[in-house]
Homo-oligomer: A and B are copies of this chain.
Amino acid sequence: MKSYPKEQIQAYKEKNKQTGRLLIKCPDQPGIVSSVTQFLHKNEANIIESNQYTTDPQDGKFFMRIEFESSKLPEAEEELRNDFGSIADTFDMEWSLKGAYDVKKTAIFVSKELHCLRELLLEWQSGDLIADIKMVVSNHEDCKELVESFGLPFFHIPSNKDIRKQVEEKQLKLLKDYDIDLIVLARYMQILTPDFVAAHPFKIINIHHSFLPAFIGANPHKRAYDRGVKLIGATSHYVTNDLDEGPIIEQDIVRVDHRDSVNDLKKMGRSVERIVLARGVKWDLEDRLIVHENKTIVF
């Protein structure tokens, strides 16, 4: 069992070795699509999936994601990027061009509630979440045995607000040592410092256990219960310095009723939290997300 995902990731890389993904964000203007598709055509690329969006027909922003196959990949990846640079300059683009085979190195942070971690590990194990999970980090030891049963490294870094700086130093060192691309806060109950967040712009995904912006902050289920809502939700979002205010990636809800206690809400919330987080993480792993003005474009 333990080596299964590694083999799966290898098979995925092999299968997608000629698959590239191009993400673009720029001021809208005539000729963008035409230039991009000519570039791909010239590079023997076959478009597999293409999505675009313009904020506003006039004076708007243009966004595009193209997944393509090119016989030049993976060898000429760097060359393709250089080549595309001049088009990007012409249209003043923010952009990235990467191989789908470049599976993201991922770290999962978790505290005592393990349902989100479990979901991610199982989706990963069954090959439905394509990540190169390098570590699970926790301020508690509750998940140590679980993580290690999946053959993954577990790091226990006890934390409290007095030693936050030292804790984050340890964490940052780990993230750097393993060259982490994506950090998933799978019910990690410690606040991150502005420095930590600033070091990973739109590379940290959190799950909040409410339908934001309702019940921002602590104890959302208790407050949902007190308000007598008929639906509870969960929100996955990129972390910015404003608590629970970062760009929303995905939300979903579950129906509750008057019979449900605060504990029932927590229990039912767990189902929707783990699904909303896993969905958001998958979209990031597949480079389907572009952030614009504190919102996400999901392609």
Contact = CB atoms under 8 A, between A and B. Distances in A.
Interface of A: 1-2, 28, 30-31, 33-34, 37-38, 40-41, 44-54, 57, 69, 114-115, 118-119, 122, 125-126, 128, 145-146, 149, 211-215, 227-231, 233, 247-253, 257-259, 267, 270-271, 275, 294-298
**10 interchain residue pairs of minimum CB distance:** A228-B295, A214-B214, A34-B37, A1-B145, A33-B37, A230-B251, A258-B297, A149-B149, A34-B41, A118-B122
Nearest to A259: B53
Copy total for this chain: 4
Contacts of A115: 122, 126
The main secondary structure of chain A at its interface with chain B is mixed
Given A33-B50, A41-B34, A46-B57, A257 B227 contact: no
A95 B257 CA distance: 22
Given A37-B37, A211-B211, A213-B215, A128 B267 contact: yes
A57 B31 contact: no
A267 B130 CA distance: 13
A267 B127 CA distance: 10
